[in-house]
Chains A and B, each alone.
Chain A
Amino acid sequence: MTCAAMACRDAPGGMRRSPLQTVDARARILAFALSLLVAVSAVGSSPLVLAVLCAFPVAAIVIARVPAHMILRRLSFVAVFIALAGVFTFLIPLAAQPSAKRFWFLLFGSLFAVTSTAALTYSTTATEAMEALQRLRVPSHVIWTGFLGLRYLPLVFGEGRRVHRAARARGWRGSSGITALGWMTASLISRGFDRALRTGEAMEARGFGSSRVILEPCPLRVHDWMVMTGYPATLLALRLFLDGGAL
């Protein structure tokens, strides 16, 4: 296995490759982004059209072998908002047809976004995504800012928990002082800045920003192109057909 293979098309360690993982990460990312645009363009469509569009990412998560519990967990985050929207749309007498359309879009749009994101993130490791974004000429500072944010979130939460525990051990309770809460938050922010500075130094010490980085040639194959263009194009064509050609 070469580094090019590791970077370009390798499956995450120990994971069984799904058919979706054989597609280049660039194709997956672009197909995902374009399909979201198609979904957004269907804002005024009927529930039937929206449901048909949702069948595509559902098929993608089946192909990507995403476990059902992962989808349900993600859906549970938006389920509350959708349920609330349903209550306000259908149970309040003032509800009118346009807001019902908005509700269906919210429902199917959320389903579309959650299933699409699950299919993409489950089949694409962070490493693959970073490599793919680099190859798509996204500036390295933009890529690293996003990924470092994700990398350090667990650390910040961990520090927050430790600070909170230490404060409670010394008798602090939520109701016993908003000032202390402010200090804790300020301390977390200050530590976050310190850590950012040190990480920046660590990156510089290892040559970050060097123009010497070589991206090995990794051309898209026929089936990558087919997925990247075919998936969103089919979605768009179907939407136009069902909506009678209206964009």
Chain B
Amino acid sequence: MIPPAIAFKGVRFTYPDGTRALNGLTLTVKSRDRIAVLGPNGAGKSTLLHAVLGFIATAEGAVEVDGLQVVPANLTEIRQRVGIVFQDPDDQLFCPTLLDDVRFGPRNQGLSGTELYERVHHAVEAVGLWDRRDRHPHRLSVGEKKRGALATVLSMRPDILLLDEPSAHLDGPSRRSLRDILSVYEGTLLLVSQDLPFAAALCTRAVVLESGRVTLDIPMDEMLNDPVRVEQLGIPAMELCALCAEHGWRTPHAP
């Protein structure tokens, strides 16, 4: 039996200040699933991503990636398979040039020579930043930084891609550009966002998180046609209608 790409089994985690971020979270992500994790601020969405890569030590329960339990002994292996794009690209871009940043991951995977060059070239080209490759990341615009941060992870060819609020602070063209890049990614996608239209364009399954636990896990189109839930997530009806029209989905009824 093929193990799920990611499995959360009753995970609990509390921050040192007493904030309970994950409260018995149980979720199974199958290989090639495209899941949007939605929910209000403080629901535990980002913490969930950090648990996958072992950045936090969960108090109870277990997290597994491709059947490997997230424990220190397996972290190197897990981090080869899972790529994460942080919410703030300045946390992710730390090298002197964008090209160096994109090279960082594949080099740590042991790549060199032509193979490394091709990986890097492909990733930077895919995000449309080849002409900016020698720029200092600090000098890029927010949209370019986000795409650059994505390139740093795509160059590692991860089986699983975790995205933390990728569309935050982006204008319309930058969001569309990022969406187009992500739409051709073929691996497992776990996208944490409060931006339902963006998430809906990329994901087939919606998971709503509240107070550290899953309160809803349904197909995305079903979610979009549930006006009460959409309203609860604070999405303007007009925006949703425009999204549905763009994708040819059935326009949800007004609540």
Interface residues of A (CB under 8 A from B): 1-4, 6, 12-14, 125-127, 130, 147-148, 151-152, 154-155, 195, 198-199, 201-210, 212-214, 216
Q: Looking across the interface, which residue of chain B has its beta carbon closest to that of A144?
A: B94
What would be 26 A-B contacts, judged by CB atoms less than 8 Å apart? A1-B117, A2-B114, A3-B113, A3-B120, A6-B99, A13-B97, A13-B134, A126-B96, A127-B96, A147-B96, A151-B94, A152-B94, A199-B92, A202-B92, A202-B94, A203-B104, A204-B55, A204-B79, A205-B82, A206-B105, A207-B76, A207-B109, A208-B104, A210-B108, A210-B109, A216-B113
Q: Which residues of B contact A4 (CB under 8 A)?
A: 112-113
User: Per-position contact with A for B132-163: 1 when CB-CB < 8 Å, else 0?
Assistant: 01100010000000000000110010000000
Q: A202-B91, A204-B75, A207-B156 are in contact. List 5 more A-B contacts (CB 8 A).
A: A127-B96, A205-B55, A205-B84, A210-B108, A216-B112
Evaluate contact between B76 and A210: CB separation under 8 angstroms: yes
Minimum distance in angstroms from B152 CB to a CB of chain A = 7
Is B212 part of the binding interface, using a Cβ–Cβ cutoff of 8 Å? no
Q: Which residues of A contact B91 (CB under 8 A)?
A: 195, 198-199, 201-202
Q: Which residues of A contact B58 (CB under 8 A)?
A: none
User: Per-position contact with A for B90-103: 1 when CB-CB < 8 Å, else 0?
Assistant: 11101111011001
Q: Which residues of A contact B251 (CB under 8 A)?
A: none
Evaluate contact between B108 and A127: CB separation under 8 angstroms: no
Evaluate contact between B83 and A130: CB separation under 8 angstroms: no
Is B235 part of the binding interface, using a Cβ–Cβ cutoff of 8 Å? no
Evaluate contact between A127 and B86: CB separation under 8 angstroms: no
Evaluate contact between B90 and A154: CB separation under 8 angstroms: no
Measured CA separation A4–B104 after assembly (Å)? 14
Which of A127, A154, A209, A216 gathers most chain B CB within 10 Å?
Answer: A127
Evaluate contact between A206 and B104: CB separation under 8 angstroms: yes
Measured CA separation A4–B152 after assembly (Å)? 19
Interface residues of B (CB under 8 A from A): 50, 53, 55, 75-76, 79-80, 82-84, 86, 88, 90-92, 94-97, 99-100, 103-105, 107-114, 116-117, 120, 133-134, 138, 152-153, 156
Minimum distance in angstroms from A228 CB to a CB of chain B = 23
Q: Looking across the interface, which residue of chain B has its beta carbon closest to that of A209?
A: B108
Q: Given that A14-B134, A195-B90, A195-B91 are contacting pairs, would A2 and B110 also be in contact in the complex, using a CB cutoff of 8 Å? A: no
Q: Which residues of A contact B117 (CB under 8 A)?
A: 1-3, 6
Which of A12, A151, A208 gathers most chain B CB within 10 Å?
Answer: A151
Q: Given that A2-B117, A6-B117 are contacting pairs, would A210 and B110 also be in contact in the complex, using a CB cutoff of 8 Å? A: yes
Measured CA separation A130–B104 after assembly (Å)? 12
Evaluate contact between B94 and A3: CB separation under 8 angstroms: no
Measured CA separation A225–B173 after assembly (Å)? 52
Q: Given that A2-B117, A6-B99, A205-B79 are contacting pairs, would A199 and B94 also be in contact in the complex, using a CB cutoff of 8 Å? A: yes
The 7 closest A-B pairs by CB, nearest first: A13-B134, A207-B108, A126-B96, A212-B110, A206-B105, A198-B91, A214-B112
Evaluate contact between A155 and B90: CB separation under 8 angstroms: yes
Q: Looking across the interface, which residue of chain A has its beta carbon closest to that of B138?
A: A154
Minimum distance in angstroms from B129 CB to a CB of chain A = 13
Evaluate contact between B138 and A207: CB separation under 8 angstroms: no
Measured CA separation A244–B232 after assembly (Å)? 87
Q: Select one of B84, B90, B97, B120 contacting A127, CB under 8 A.
A: B97
Evaluate contact between B55 and A201: CB separation under 8 angstroms: yes
Evaluate contact between B96 and A125: CB separation under 8 angstroms: yes
Q: Select one of A3, A6, A202 contacting B86, CB under 8 A.
A: A202
Minimum distance in angstroms from B104 CB to a CB of chain A = 6
Which of B97, B109, B112 gathers most chain A CB within 10 Å?
Answer: B112
Q: Which residues of A contact B82 (CB under 8 A)?
A: 205
Minimum distance in angstroms from B125 CB to a CB of chain A = 14
Q: Which residues of A contact B55 (CB under 8 A)?
A: 201, 204-205
Q: Looking across the interface, which residue of chain B has its beta carbon closest to that of A198?
A: B91
Q: Looking across the interface, which residue of chain A has its beta carbon closest to that of B162?
A: A205
Q: Select one of B92, B95, B100, B105 contacting A207, CB under 8 A.
A: B105
Measured CA separation A203–B83 after assembly (Å)? 11
Q: Looking across the interface, which residue of chain A has its beta carbon closest to that of B55?
A: A201
Measured CA separation A207–B157 after assembly (Å)? 13
Q: Which residues of A contact B156 (CB under 8 A)?
A: 206-207
Q: Which residues of B contact A155 (CB under 8 A)?
A: 90, 138
